[in-house]
Structure 1
């Protein structure tokens, strides 16, 4: 059976308490509510992203349609203006004047059709621009909410990490000077047994597994030499006897 100074065994409970605190801080960091908030907002942003892209694409396409419609109308207007100048000049003979008048009528009809098409596209563009503005506003609100949640997460992490650094320093000080073999055994057991490598023996119960030792095992633990490192027969953890003196 391994041996270690009695005081080192008792101080092991201090180390265990600090390690447990570090575990709790790590758990808080992994499960902080802000993480779920950020993830939820990222999911909503992802869902909205497709709508935002589609809306922006639709607006851009309609803007190109409006530009083309305006260009088509302007082209007809310019042609009509040139024809009107020819008529106004008085230089055309009767036959040419008749032809130009006929063309002006056709251009007027064509311009009406194009202007109606232009108006229809502009109305569609206006509706899509309104929709895009709503989607962009919703997107902006989600981005702001995510940034706020991320800032809360970062602030919480900074606080937790600061506390962890302090506990880690306290742990290093608590371990300093302890029997190396005892610490090695403790660290190995702590890794194997869910973070708890040493526990107090209170009455007839191991505080690690919360089980009562049978009379024989309890007698063996109580009667062992103080320097002997006793292990719980139920869970295998180091049993620190006389914890009130720790």
Structure 2
């Protein structure tokens, strides 16, 4: 394949743009902010789950407290009724004894229920502190996720701007090359990652390997408009005064 040496040198500019586009693509896939967002989402979900667990336990405890308070009220009401009957002086001796016994039982029951209620209230107070802590932790996790998401979006926006600029440059550049030369370049780039590279000091800048004696002789003897390629990586070798031939 033949191509004007000046046109071949322009392949280096195209390769430089393609290398930057490749870096942009790699950067987009490996942004540390992507990992940060994933970790922040995982942390937030865990914090929210912890908050839900505490609130669920609190809800169960509130129902227990409500039942306990209801039972205490029922015991008090029964005690009040019995005490009024006792104070009325209208009960028989046998009933009087039964009422006194029942009042003693109700008082003991009420005392036990109130002790249990106090324990439930203490547990609730501790759980309420746990809920406040869980809410604060969830709030911090939300802020961390928002910060990571913002930085990710800013980084992606910068990459998008660079990619758009370089893509526009590339679209203008490819029009400068003959169809056969561009097709070769694109094929090599698709296969090897780099379509063209400078031959500098007898070394291919694509694979970083020095050409052996046989390859050097072949490249040196090739006409200036001959398109030559690296035997190792297949990249189009662009010859300049730096090639050391």
TM-score interval w.r.t. the shorter chain? 0.7 to 0.9
Which shows bigger deviation, 174-183 or 39-48? 39-48
1:46 Cα deviation after fit: 4.7
Consecutive unaligned residues in structure 2, runs of 5 or more: none
Residue aligned with 1:176, SS: helix
Q: Deviations over 1:151-206 (max 9, x none)?
A: 1111111111111111111111111242122222212211221x211001223221
Q: CA contact under 8 A between 2:82 and 2:103: conserved in structure 1?
A: yes
User: Counterparts of 2:76 and 2:179 in 1: how far apart (Å)?
Assistant: 96
Give the corresponding residue for 2:228. 230
Which shows bigger deviation, 103-112 or 18-27? 103-112
Give the corresponding residue for 2:184. 185
Give the corresponding residue for 2:238. 240
User: Counterparts of 2:12 and 2:42 in 1: how far apart (Å)?
Assistant: 44
Give the corresponding residue for 2:72. 73
1:97 Cα deviation after fit: 4.3
User: Counterparts of 2:225 and 2:24 in 1: how far apart (Å)?
Assistant: 33
1:167-206 equivalence runs, <5 A? 167-193=166-192, 195-206=193-204
Q: Please, what TM-score do these two structures have when normalized by structure 1?
A: 0.87
1:1-246 equivalence runs, <5 A? 2-88=1-87, 91-193=90-192, 195-242=193-240
User: Counterparts of 1:186 and 1:85 in 2: how far apart (Å)?
Assistant: 106
How well do the aligned residues superpose, as a CA RMSD in angstroms?
2.3
| Higher RCO structure, 1 or 2 (CA under 8 Å, sep 6+) | 1
Consecutive unaligned residues in structure 1, runs of 5 or more: none
Count of equivalent residues: 242
Which shows bigger deviation, 198-207 or 25-34? 25-34
User: Counterparts of 1:56 and 1:136 in 2: how far apart (Å)?
Assistant: 10
Q: Deviations over 1:53-101 (max 9, x none)?
A: 4323322221111111111111112222333344455554554444334
1:141 Cα deviation after fit: 0.9
Residue aligned with 2:199, SS: strand
